Amino acid sequence: MKKLLSFVLLALPLLAVQAHENDAKAVAEDIQRHRAMAAAHEAAARCLESGKKHDVCQKELQAACKGLALGKYCGMRHVH
C-alpha cells in the first residue's frame, strides 16, 4: 500500500505537466482555427463589397470553413 501511495504521489506532478502541455497545444490549435475563421469572414466581406450576391458569398464562406467550424455559418450567425 505504501509503495502504491508513493507511486501515485510521484506520478501526479508528471500528469500535471502532461495536462499543461496538452492545454497549451489545444490553445495553439484554437488560435489557428480562429485566425482561419477570421480570414474566411474577411474574404466573405470582400466578396460582398465586390458586388457579388449574398448567396454566392455565403457559398464561398461555407467552402472556406468546411471542417473548420460548426454549422453552415462558420462559427457566426447574424440577422439578414
- Point out the least confidently predicted range of 39-43, 46-50, 69-73: 69-73
Residue 39 and residue 33 in contact, taking contact as beta carbons nearer than 8 Å: no
- Is the model's pTM score more than 0.85? no
| C-alpha cell recorded at residue 28 | 495553439
pLDDT-based confidence at residue 5 (cuts at 50, 70, 90):
low
For the stretch 10-47, pLDDT in tens is 655 655 555 556 788 889 998 998 899 999 999 999 99
Q: Under DSSP, is residue 80 helix (H, G, I), strand (E, B) or coil?
A: coil
- As a whole number of angstroms, the distance between CA 80 and CA 75 comes to 16
14 vs 39: CA distance, rounded Å? 38
